[in-house]
A and B are shown apart, each in its own frame.
Chain A
């Protein structure tokens, strides 16, 4: 990819000490595609590893231990002792909380739920965003003005605040409803992005060519423009999922999430209320936090990778 953009003098100067000039000749085989991006792949790796915990976990571990009073209370992980001098046991390798929930089971049940929220909210958001973005960019005029106005308004409202009001009014909300509510605020960013891309693509040569050769609007939209939008759609999707998970975790740690199913955020909430910090029960709040942090790092890596795929300049610089 090096030859695609003019290499600045500075990059050449610093090149010998930092990198071997590999792949100077450009694309040689089908393995040499921008989609085989280290960041993208490692991000996807992290995410699928967490997803696997949720998928395989229930097969090898008894998830009913995630319910209260399923295990002895306040046990530390194996190899540690708690403030009462109790040692961790292999029946509950990651310890238990003050209500007798097995931490390993809680993580196995909680992780896929967190993904589910992100997935639902981002999918709904991206579908609405794509439709509105295409409409705004393609039709233009009053429709464009109206969609832009609504998007500008919704994008400034902090989702979390509205959701806090909502959850405290309704109290019981299940995961799917919560995801849909978050999606109601997730679409404007996708709409803006798609609109900007559609506007710039509409004037590009190949779209004009298609128009001149009499392709239908539908064909132009889905056969000519859509394939070029895919990296942007992916990036929007990941950004939407990140935002949704962020909002969901925020709600859960405030104690406003779904009450019946254990989630990672509500575990942190319970830990804070149960003064896990001063009792030095780090496994109670630390393990779900670590899992969430890893999840966010995975999402960030995927996002960075997609950025580099759609912007060759970043790709070139990341190697120097």
Chain B
């Protein structure tokens, strides 16, 4: 083969593989969409399940997932951002910080069901929060920490070093430099990381299984010590625990969950492109 032919074959096969990589997401979304779209209507989105969950809607699960996502954000964001600032700006390379980094990497590798058991042991039982939104949010929040810490740290490190040096040389303190020069420019990256992390948390079943999720609870929660329904667990429950469950409701539920998670991811992606375009340097 000539060099030109090799070039063509190489580009062709790489393109083919790239298309294959995109295929699953297209097929999954398409399949869920086709199967589930029929179940989506106003009643489905705005009423509680009825008739042993075989009828009615999934409002308590939708709201539960939104509340848990919010709770996750409240738990996760302050800790993760503070940790990222510490690691990127203050920590340097000492034995302690190497251990901290190792711990974060390992935290990311722990299976989500283990987080669920941890939440059950520590928050539900030991701290006595019971099966509650509080316990579920704490569990999800901790699970989300590593991904948000890593993306936030990368965003902070990506701010050009010269801005820091110039700021310090103009008599700004280290904290002023972080606050006025580093964080504003790292913010898009940090927020992107937060949204992606929350998107994952919103779709998790195992961590909420023992810590917050209710099998059937038509009333909306009234405090953070209440249980709540949530979409991922509801989907698991109606798919495995309810005999004669209409398929359309299962796929409808899956579709709603998928849309919530995908829209979070989409918001993150759009936000990132917009902020990049506004960057002046």
Specify whether A and B are partners. Answer: no
Residues of B within 8 A of A (CB): none
Residues of A within 8 A of B (CB): none
